[in-house]
Amino acid sequence: MTWLFFQAVVSGLLLGGVYGLVASGLSLIFGVLRIINFAHGAVMMLGMYASYWLFVLLGVDPYLSILLTGPLFFGIGVLIQRLVIEPNRAAAEHNQLLITLGLALFFENLALVLWQGDFRTLRVSYSGASFMLGDVLVEVPRLIAAGGALLIALALWAFLRWTDAGKAIRALSEEQEGARLVGIDVARMRGAAFGIGSACVAVAGALVTPFFYIAPDVGESFNIMAFVVVVLGGMGNFLGALLGGFIVGLAESLGAAFLPGSLKQLVVFALFVIVLLLRPQGLFGARGGR
């Protein structure tokens, strides 16, 4: 059954790339703002609808739509941070957590009102494209999504590493007070971090629309996985999130291939609990844009 193994590995890696990008955004937001953003999946859902409507109404290819939805959701993220998160920064942490949970519920119900609960699927000419690598099936849209996610995450990593703004964001996630003392516009950088995180997840949403489906609660499946990935990779560790994405993707896929029933989810969540117990800082260490 070697082909089954290789098939599972390939599928797991392709899925893992998307998990990685979703989780990178979540990790960045956590690193800088120190809040777990429960609305992350809901923002992904909005990103998917944005790509869907751009395609249906204006004929914009979902991959090209990234050029529009990326900046748009950066703006939306900044706005959310300014209007909702920032005013409550002084509040207790669990309150901030509840605020993001409230946002998630708000977005989901907004989507229900605007577009009803029915599922939508977006068919593009290449939706069905695939090729065989030996005996192993590779679906082109999933390959593009994983590759695109990896590229964007790496570009973001480079941005955090080598640009002034990126360094400022990293400084902020390392040491808030220190960052303020050296003259970094802390409030602005927090907004930027939330914006970048939101743009990441919206873009991930656009990347999956050609092979996925769209519904108001679609973000939830990615949301939970993203939490697992972030914990696995280390809270706030950007590259750790990317690697964690691949690990979770692989665990899910291999679990599905070789374990009976629907145990694959169990594998992932068992991994989650074990890492929290034995290595709470994550497999790759917490914090920073390292």
Partner 1 sequence: MSDSTLKPIDRRRFLETMGAAGAVTLAAPAFGRAQVREVKVGYILPVTGPLAFEAQLALNGIQQAVDEINGAGGIKSLGGARITLLPGDTQNKVELGNSEAARLIDQGVTAIIGPFSSLVAFSVRQVTEKNKTPFLLLATVADNVLEGGLRYTFRMQPNARAMATLTVGNMIEMAKAAGTPIKRVAIMHEDGNFGTTMGNHVEAFAGKMGYELVQRVPYNLRSPDFTAELSKVKAARPDLLLISGYYGDSKIIAETAGKLRIGVHALVGLANAAYSNPRFIAENRELTDHLFDGNYWHNPQSPRARAVFEAYQKRFSSVMSNHGVQGYQVTFVLKDALERAASTDREKVRDAISKTNLTDHILTQDAIRFDEAGENVNATPALLQVQGAKPVVVGPARFVEAKPVFPVPKWKG
Residues binding partner 1 (CB under 8 A):
1, 3-4, 7-8, 11-12, 14-15, 18, 112-113, 116-121, 123, 127-128, 130, 137, 139, 142, 208, 211-213, 215-218, 220-222, 252-257, 261-262, 264-265
Of residues 84 and 136, the one with the C-beta less far from partner 1: 136
Work out how close the CB of 69 gets to partner 1 at its nearest, in angstroms, rounded to a whole number. Answer: 19
Length of the chain: 290
Work out how close the CB of 93 gets to partner 1 at its nearest, in angstroms, rounded to a whole number. Answer: 28
Of residues 18 and 171, the one with the C-beta less far from partner 1: 18
Work out how close the CB of 281 gets to partner 1 at its nearest, in angstroms, rounded to a whole number. Answer: 28
Long-range contacts of residues 116-124, Cβ cutoff 8 Å, at least 24 apart: 117/215, 117/216, 118/215, 119/213, 119/214, 119/215, 120/52, 120/213, 120/214, 120/215, 121/213, 121/214, 122/51, 122/52, 122/55, 122/56, 122/62, 122/209, 122/210, 122/214, 124/55, 124/61, 124/62, 124/210
Give the residues across from 138 on adjacent strands.
Answer: 131
Of residues 172 and 228, the one with the C-beta less far from partner 1: 228
Quickly list H helices, 138-283.
140-162, 164-174, 176-181, 186-208, 219-233, 238-258, 264-278
Of residues 249 and 289, the one with the C-beta less far from partner 1: 249
Work out how close the CB of 265 gets to partner 1 at its nearest, in angstroms, rounded to a whole number. Answer: 5
Of residues 115 and 159, the one with the C-beta less far from partner 1: 115
Work out how close the CB of 165 gets to partner 1 at its nearest, in angstroms, rounded to a whole number. Answer: 32
Work out how close the CB of 282 gets to partner 1 at its nearest, in angstroms, rounded to a whole number. Answer: 23
Of residues 219 and 282, the one with the C-beta less far from partner 1: 219
HSE (CB half, 13 Å, CA atoms) of 81? 28
The count of other CB atoms within 10 Å of the CB of residue 117 is 9
Work out how close the CB of 196 gets to partner 1 at its nearest, in angstroms, rounded to a whole number. Answer: 23
Of residues 176 and 265, the one with the C-beta less far from partner 1: 265
Residues 6+ apart with CB under 8 A from 20: 149, 150, 153, 229, 241, 242, 243, 244, 245, 246
